[in-house]
Chains A and B, each alone.
Chain A
Amino acid sequence: MTDVETLRIRFAYVLITVLWANPVLLALAGNAVGNDNATLLTGCGVALAALSTLVWCLCGTHWLTRQVSSIATIGQVMLLVYAFARHPYQADMHMYFFAMLAVLAGWLDWRIFITAALAIAAHHTVVNIIHPIAVFTNGGDIDRVLLHAAIVTVQAAALGQTVAYLRKALEASEDARQAATAARHTAEQARHEVTVATVQAGIERQTVLHAVADDFERKIAGIARDVILSVQTLRSASQQMTMGATEVAERSGAAYLSSHQTSSSVIAVTQATTELAASIGEIDRQVSETARIVVSTTTKAGNVLETVNHLSRKADDIGNIVGLISTIASQTNLLALNASIEAARFGHSGSGFAVVAQEVKALANQTSQATQEIQSQIEAIRTSSELAIRAIDTMYMTIGSLNEISAAVATVVEQQNAATVGIAHNIEAAAKETILAADNIEAVSRVAAEAGEAASYVAQSADRLAAQSAQLDIEVAQFLGRIRAA
């Protein structure tokens, strides 16, 4: 807001007060002078004050308010002059026009003097011609009207020029003050900008340092974490290597022992295989001997069969003889019977002979019984011979089967012998491989021991690396702390 506007705002209150004071003055003057239209004049003065106040409330210090309020003020003066109609002071009340024109200078607007002067001139001219008593006490006087018009013109021109110069001076002063204020603001702004730039530079420097420190810390921290993780991984790997090497050494030792035991077992198996081959040879020999014995037994069985057949034929011969003896015994018994009959005929003399006949008969009966027993024994011999023959036949069949079995056994023994030889060869090769494996296992055990030592050395290196990483972390933290504090 400019100084002109400020002054106009303040002046508006003054003029509104004057506008509302004039109706009071109109009422007082009208009643004092005894004007018949005092009430109407007062009402019109109030109407002009109200109109100006309304425009002021609506438009503020706008040019419309300035024009309306200025002309309303002049109008109130016109009414006041009319209120003094036919009064000696009427001509003096024209001075109030000049007073109000001077008051209107407070608007700092030269244009209002043109319109105000125009209003005064129009009023004087028209009323002087048509109703002169409303203007001058003694009626129309064009010369006085012209004189008043000249005075009003001079005053309006002087006031207008003064107001115009005053306004220009105020505006120039305000411009100068605004320029000074702007220059001061510019200087303050420049100083503020310098300060802000300095602070900003410091902040940016600090920000850059912090950013660099944060970035460095982040990268170093990332590397340190990677190193720690790598060290941990390396340590665990070395521990696993150590454990693996130890286990490999233990297992290779156990394998070495197992290999030695296997070699011993293979040697024992080789010996057993040799003994088995010898046993198989012995079995072959025994089988051959058995075959030979079987052949001999077969021959002997043939002889026995022939003997038994001969014995059977002899038994048949004995049976024939026994039959002959039995026939003889029957003839003898028949003779004894005839002798007894003859003895009986001779009576008592023949009793002795009857006893002999009785004895011969008893002998014949005993002979018959003996022959029957012999016959039964011969039958028993014949039966036994037949049984022997069948037994020998069976034995022949058994021997044939035994020969076949012996041949099959011989074949199997030969196969077993060949297999035993192959087993012996394989076992010998296995023994050689076992010895070679034992050598390799021994080498593996030695390498495992070396790997265990290397793993232990790696674990120690990992520990030293972890310690160095922690020390590096501490050094980096101290370095970053110094950078951030800078």
Chain B
Amino acid sequence: MREIVFGASFSLFVALSAFLIAAWPIPGRPVASYFPPGLSASQVAMAVGQAGGRLLEIGGNPSLVISLGSSAGYAAELYRSGAWFVVDASFARLCITGSWRASS
């Protein structure tokens, strides 16, 4: 039984890892960034600007935005600007869509 329990845990870990790898931001393509809650849209836009990116979309919650950066280290710059989580923009499609639907 312990073998199955261990295997199930390791399977979830590998699946999650694969998921994270699949959602890894790709330089030159839009990325979704999640900032700390409570920030205003202007603060988030300022942070994206500091990272060297351009703001593409902002959802109903200003903490989640989609931006585009030209530099290879754009994702790292976003983390330095205060982002909590940076993934490929397609990963956040449901969240953006949900928030858009909620906001619309």
Binding site for B on A (CB under 8 A): 36-37, 40-41, 44, 48, 63-64, 67-68, 70-72, 74-75, 78-79, 82, 85, 111-112, 114-116, 118-119, 122-123, 126-127, 129-131, 133-134
Q: Is B29 an interface residue (CB 8 A)?
A: yes
Whether the Cβ atoms of B22 and A119 lie closer than 8 Å is no
Whether the Cβ atoms of A119 and B11 lie closer than 8 Å is yes
Whether the Cβ atoms of A111 and B14 lie closer than 8 Å is no
State how many angstroms separate the Cβ of B56 from the closest Cβ of chain A. Answer: 18
Q: CA A126 – CA B27 in complex, angstroms? A: 24
Binding site for A on B (CB under 8 A): 3-4, 6-8, 10-12, 14-19, 21-24, 26-29, 88, 90-91, 94
CB neighbours of B17 from chain A (8 A): 44, 75
Partner of A67, one of B7, B22, B23, B88: B7
Whether the Cβ atoms of A122 and B3 lie closer than 8 Å is no
Summarize A's interface: helix, strand, loop or mixed: helix
With A112-B7, A118-B11: A36-B26 Cβ-Cβ less than 8 Å = yes
CB neighbours of B24 from chain A (8 A): 37, 40
Q: Which residue of A lies closest to B16 (CB)?
A: A126
Q: CA A64 – CA B3 in complex, angstroms? A: 7
25 contacts between A and B (CB under 8 A): A36-B29, A37-B26, A40-B21, A41-B21, A71-B11, A78-B14, A78-B15, A82-B18, A82-B22, A114-B4, A115-B4, A115-B8, A115-B10, A118-B7, A118-B8, A118-B11, A119-B15, A123-B18, A123-B19, A127-B19, A129-B94, A130-B94, A131-B23, A131-B91, A134-B22
Q: CA A116 – CA B7 in complex, angstroms? A: 8
Whether the Cβ atoms of B10 and A126 lie closer than 8 Å is no
Summarize B's interface: helix, strand, loop or mixed: helix
Q: CA A71 – CA B19 in complex, angstroms? A: 15
Q: CA A119 – CA B88 in complex, angstroms? A: 23
State how many angstroms separate the Cβ of A82 from the closest Cβ of chain B. Answer: 5
Please count the residue pairs between chain A and chain B whose beta carbons lie under 8 angstroms apart in the complex.
Answer: 93
Whether the Cβ atoms of A116 and B11 lie closer than 8 Å is yes
Q: CA A63 – CA B22 in complex, angstroms? A: 29
State how many angstroms separate the Cβ of A441 from the closest Cβ of chain B. Answer: 122
CB neighbours of A131 from chain B (8 A): 19, 22-23, 88, 90-91
State how many angstroms separate the Cβ of A134 from the closest Cβ of chain B. Answer: 4
Whether the Cβ atoms of B10 and A130 lie closer than 8 Å is no
Q: Which residue of B lies closest to A48 (CB)?
A: B14
CB neighbours of B94 from chain A (8 A): 129-130
Whether the Cβ atoms of A115 and B7 lie closer than 8 Å is yes
Whether the Cβ atoms of A130 and B91 lie closer than 8 Å is yes
CB neighbours of A134 from chain B (8 A): 18-19, 22
CB neighbours of A72 from chain B (8 A): 14
Q: CA A119 – CA B18 in complex, angstroms? A: 10
Whether the Cβ atoms of A122 and B26 lie closer than 8 Å is no
